[in-house]
Amino acid sequence: MMKKLFLILITCFFIFTFKPVYCDDIDEDEENLDIATEIQNISMETSSNIDSDNLTLNSRSCVVLDRKTKQILYGKNEKNKAKMASTTKIMTATVVIENISLDKTVEVSRKAAGTGGSRLGLKTGDKITVRDLLYGLLMRSGNDAAVALAETVSGSVPEFAKLMNKKAKSLGLSNTNFESPHGLDSDNHYTTAYELALLTDYALKNSTFLNIVGTKNYTVTINGYPKLLSNTNELLGNLNGVYGVKTGFTNGANRCLVTSCKRGDMDIICVVLGADTKNFRTKDSIKLIEYTFKNFEYFNVKDFATNFLNNWKKDNSNYFFVNKGFSNDVDVKVDASIDKMPIVAIKKDLIPDIKANINLCSYLSAPLNKEECLGNLIVSSKGYNILKLDILSNSYIRKNNVFDYMYRFFKCYSDELQILLEPLDLPS
């Protein structure tokens, strides 16, 4: 009797003391969210171009990254380290796609089949292709698929994590570290909202990854039998322009969502990490996406800066004096770095007040080298600096030498010397 009582007490202790660790919310575990109504409500909220300071967000950290310019359009704790849950699988898929044939058939190990959390539903000995495992990984967030892929590529989870971290390092993700291919909670498994956005931007450049995360429903084949999958991303197919990418949930990370969205020529990635509920992560994502598209547009800063400088040169043709220089004819140009980002994404209300100021020293010293920095040009609006560019010399002007001075001396006095050397016209 005492033995049975002891077992009951031990069982109750474990039930109430330890919470299970979940990874991804495949099934709806809270009140249903009417996304269409939520989109309408948030659209009305952002219709008056509200300032970003007025955005009320539940997520612990978030970011909106413009894919074309790589600018942060909105950020909240975007560079703070945080757990990432199953958004980890963005990196998992990237490493798999770049390192193994998608047509390879995989036999599922006991370890992979026994992995907990969200699952594709694999059993030991199941046969499935790498391609179908990727669909199970990204659409259904299968942790069993993640381990099966990791073992297929590297032989083990620890070895695969090394590949993940090597890739992160090559992408310049200095505040990101991976310990698993699935993202179950681990103290040394983390990223930031900003670096996760950068990783996603890279991953989306791969057509295989792009196609999978944009698929709403897909049928995989396991042991020759079909299995229909549906995507866990609640915004895919519901919010205008959304074409991916990944959901996530663990007890430590809370609710996470990475979303890619394109409308017109603007293409963004929205990351929310650490939302308290699935509803909050969905609402925060919709709010950030609608805010961005209502308030930002592209501006061709290269054309603006170049035209401004050209007009300035016309009005200041004699602006420069080159001390001891062979010439004062100095041509200037905008630093070629502007070619890397000829456009910027800026708030729409800043565009009417955009202006440029040029700061150049007029007194220079020879020799003046080509590409020498002579000052800067600042593009701004309402006190906000949009871009600061170096102004470079587009001329080489050498320093005068002794022969130059002699030449100028004789040239200056040539008329007087000619008069002195002419024969006198005396009367006969």
Active-site choice (61, 76, 83, 89): 89
Q: Is 26 helix (H, G, I), strand (E, B) or coil?
A: coil
For residues 215 and 197, give the distance between their C-alpha atoms in angstroms, rounded to a whole number. 20
Of the candidates 59, 61, 109, 141, the residue annotated as catalytic is: 141
The residues pairing with 296 across neighbouring beta strands, listed in sequence order, are 347
Active-site entry in 61, 86, 118, 260: 86
**109 is an active site residue:** no
- The Cα–Cα gap between 44 and 48 comes to 8
Q: What are phi and psi of 156, to 5 degrees?
A: -160, 165
Residue closest to 96 by CA, chosen among 232, 206, 174: 206
Q: Is 302 a catalytic residue?
A: no
Rounded Cα–Cα distance for residues 353 and 349 (Å): 8
- Residue 348 appears among annotated catalytic residues: no
> What are residue 302's DSSP bridge partners?
none
Rounded distance, CA 390 to CA 226, Å?
A: 60
Report d(CA 233, CA 245) in Å as an integer. 7
Rounded Cα distance, 178 and 163, in Å: 9
Q: Which residues contact 272 (CB under 8 A, 6 or more apart)?
A: 57, 59, 61, 62, 193, 255, 256, 257, 281, 284, 285, 288
Element containing residue 294 per DSSP (H, E): helix 278-295
Q: Catalytic residue positions?
A: 86, 89, 141
